[in-house]
């Protein structure tokens, strides 16, 4: 499959004098897990915020499966099938784990029934139970999400992405702040997800990136420095200079590439 699920053309976002994303061009191929890396402040999260509609672009456009989604509202983009997680874990803290999934499952319905009891919706309830098992949180189903451990919140976020049947999933540093055990658990989940869903992932952990990515894009100063396979990226001189330029870091990328 060489069909592009997401095409970004000349995308630009300025904050006052700062150009966070500068005429970014990018093509995400369907069926391949695409990682975006780059130093802090390279515009990675801004790029996600533009695609998901939280920010309005100052220029350029985003095409999702050939449809121009530039300027759509976040909920409209979500309903088209693009879902994302946040860098800082973001769930509904006072709702239970099951309710978090429940409300996510129903969020894309245009009309929410005002009087029918939510608990009488059997189809949704079964799907919630199924997802709870998938992410391994069945035993915590009735705990308020705000009381979960960090790793469990991350799993819940992935569950919320799963239950909404996304077509394209944007993961913003999913393993950030996780213990090694939690990281490997999350990486396993992402690998399984990637078999059926197109995923774009922002990640700082090079081990994770080189383990799961089919394609890598390196961003610097809001621009696409280079896109390519992990082997191409790890061998690219410009990447070394721009992103891993410091001598003490040089062997890191090679190490990761052979991991």
Partner 1 sequence: MTMSLMMIRRAMLIAFIAALIAVPWVVPALINKFWVSVIAEIMIWSLFAASVNLLFGYVGLLSFGQALYFGFGMYGVAIGISTFGLSFWPAFGLGIVASVAIALVAGIFAVRLTWHYFAIITVVFSLIFYFFAVSVKSVTGGDDGINFTLPPTFSFGGYTASFSNETFQYFFIFAAVAFCFFLMHRVIQSPLGKAFVAIRDNDTRAELIGLNVYQLRLIAFVMSGFLAGVSGALFAFFGRYASASYMFYHVSGEAVVWAIVGGAGTLLGPVVGTTLFIVIREVVSTHWEHHSLIVGVMAILVVILAPTGLVGLWNEWLARWSAREKVPATRTSLQSEP
Residues binding partner 1 (CB under 8 A):
52, 54, 73-75, 78-79, 83-84, 86, 90-95, 99, 102-104, 106-109, 112-119, 121, 160, 164
Q: Give the nearest distance from C-beta 249 to partner 1 in angstroms.
A: 34
Assigned token pair, 167: 């077509």
By residue count, the chain amounts to 259
Q: Give the nearest distance from C-beta 108 to partner 1 in angstroms.
A: 4
Q: Give the nearest distance from C-beta 37 to partner 1 in angstroms.
A: 23
Q: Give the nearest distance from C-beta 91 to partner 1 in angstroms.
A: 7
| Measured distance CA(41)–CA(18) in Å, rounded | 11
Q: Which is nearer to partner 1, 28 or 101 (CB)?
A: 101
Assigned token pair, 137: 């949180």
Q: Which is nearer to partner 1, 105 or 189 (CB)?
A: 105
Q: Give the nearest distance from C-beta 85 to partner 1 in angstroms.
A: 9
| Measured distance CA(166)–CA(168) in Å, rounded | 5
Q: Three-state SS for 185?
A: helix
Kindly list the distances between the CA atom of residue 34 and the CA atoms of 92, 150, 211, 243, in Å, as whole numbers in the listed order: 28, 25, 12, 18
Q: Which is nearer to partner 1, 17 or 114 (CB)?
A: 114
Assigned token pair, 18: 């700062």
Q: Give the nearest distance from C-beta 172 to partner 1 in angstroms.
A: 11
Burial of 149 from C-beta contacts in 10 A (0-12 / 13-18 / 19+): exposed
Q: Which is nearer to partner 1, 19 or 108 (CB)?
A: 108
In angstroms, how far apart are the furthest CA atoms of the chain?
Answer: 64
Assigned token pair, 26: 């990018």
Q: Which is nearer to partner 1, 56 or 229 (CB)?
A: 56
Q: Which is nearer to partner 1, 140 or 213 (CB)?
A: 140
Q: Do residues 36 and 172 make contact, with C-beta atoms less than 8 angstroms apart?
A: no
Q: Which is nearer to partner 1, 60 or 81 (CB)?
A: 81
CA dihedral angle for residue 104, residue 108, residue 112, residue 118, rounded to 10 degrees? -30
Q: Under 8 Å CB-to-CB from 126, ≥6 apart: which residues?
A: none
Q: Under 8 Å CB-to-CB from 66, ≥6 apart: which residues?
A: none
Q: Give the nearest distance from C-beta 107 to partner 1 in angstroms.
A: 4
């Amino acid at each position: 499959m060489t069909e592009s699920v997401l095409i970004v053309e000349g995308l630009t976002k300025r904050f006052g004098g700062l150009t966070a994303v500068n005429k970014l061009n990018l093509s995400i191929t369907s069926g391949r897990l695409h990682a975006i890396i780059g130093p802090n402040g390279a515009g990675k999260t801004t790029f996600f915020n533009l695609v998901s509609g939280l920010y309005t672009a100052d220029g350029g456009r985003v095409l999702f499966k050939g449809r121009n989604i530039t300027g759509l509202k976040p909920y409209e983009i979500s309903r088209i099938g693009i879902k994302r997680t946040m860098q800082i874990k973001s769930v509904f803290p006072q709702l239970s784990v099951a309710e978090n999934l429940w409300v996510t499952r129903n969020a894309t319905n245009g009309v929410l029934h005002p009087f029918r009891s939510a608990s009488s919706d059997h189809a949704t309830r079964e799907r919630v139970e199924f997802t709870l098992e998938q992410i391994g949180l069945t035993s915590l189903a009735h705990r308020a999400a705000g009381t979960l451990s960090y790793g469990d919140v991350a799993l819940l976020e992935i569950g919320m992405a799963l239950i909404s049947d996304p077509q394209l999933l944007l993961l913003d540093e999913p393993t950030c702040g996780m213990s090694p055990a939690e990281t490997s658990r999350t990486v396993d989940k992402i690998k399984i997800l990637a078999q059926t869903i197109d995923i774009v992932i922002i990640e700082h952990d090079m081990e994770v990136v080189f383990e799961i990515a089919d394609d890598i894009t390196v961003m610097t100063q809001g621009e696409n420095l280079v896109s390519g396979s992990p082997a191409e990226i790890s061998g690219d001189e410009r990447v070394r200079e721009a992103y891993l330029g410091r001598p003490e870091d040089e062997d890191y990328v090679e190490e990761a590439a052979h991991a």
